[in-house]
């Protein structure tokens, strides 16, 4: 996809994310089975910033990928302030976020997501220009992406 078109796609996705977050916070639904709300602390403002993100739960930790890589605002906020708040459905908890930029680990995550959600992830890979999802191609793509592992700090509470 051309670079200028990708900028447009990111703006549309940002707008859609804001709508999803608003619906989830208001209790009006949204794709809550695959989307969590991540509250980070703004690296410049110090204010709370809420971002809806697709997630995968693996062994009690929550993994979220950044299609914009380390340049995503929420990712940069985590690098500056790794303590976050997470809401998944009616569950809310404090957590510690670990940013990851290692291409092999990100490729492992993408392959897991491809097995769990083949249609959705193939579409995402196509958006990035990846027609054939071989391990080598996925690792090349992963080198420009980022991943965060979110581990709950203590018990989770229902809202």
Domain count, the chain: 1
- How many CA atoms are closer than 13 Å to the CA of 30, on its beta-carbon side? 25
- What are the pLDDT digits (tens) for 57-116? 999 999 999 988 999 999 999 999 999 999 998 899 999 999 999 999 999 999 999 999
Nearest 5°: the CA angle 89, 32, 13 is 130
pLDDT tens figures, 97-110: 999 999 999 999 99
Residue 9 corresponds to which tokens in the numbers above?
């796609």
| pLDDT at 154 > cutoff 70 | yes
Given the DSSP bridges, would you call strands 83-88 and 91-100 parallel, antiparallel or unpaired? antiparallel
Question: For residue 90, what are the domain limits?
Answer: 3-158
CATH of the domain at 52: 2.30.110.10
Tokens of 76: 């940069």
């Amino acid at each position: 996809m051309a670079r200028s078109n990708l900028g447009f796609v990111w703006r549309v996705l940002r707008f859609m994310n804001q709508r999803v977050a608003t619906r989830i916070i208001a209790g009006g639904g949204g794709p809550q089975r695959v989307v969590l709300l991540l509250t980070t602390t703004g690296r410049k403002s110090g204010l709370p910033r809420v971002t809806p993100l697709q997630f995968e739960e693996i062994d009690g930790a929550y993994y979220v990928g950044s299609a914009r890589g380390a340049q995503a605002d929420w990712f940069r906020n985590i690098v500056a302030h790794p303590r976050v708040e997470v809401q998944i459905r009616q569950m809310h908890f404090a957590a510690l976020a670990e940013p990851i930029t290692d291409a092999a680990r990100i490729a492992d995550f993408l392959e897991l997501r491809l097995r769990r959600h083949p249609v959705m992830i193939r579409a995402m890979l196509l958006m990035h220009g990846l027609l054939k999802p071989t391990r080598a191609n996925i690792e090349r793509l992963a080198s420009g992406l980022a991943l965060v592992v979110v581990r709950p700090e203590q018990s989770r509470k229902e809202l």
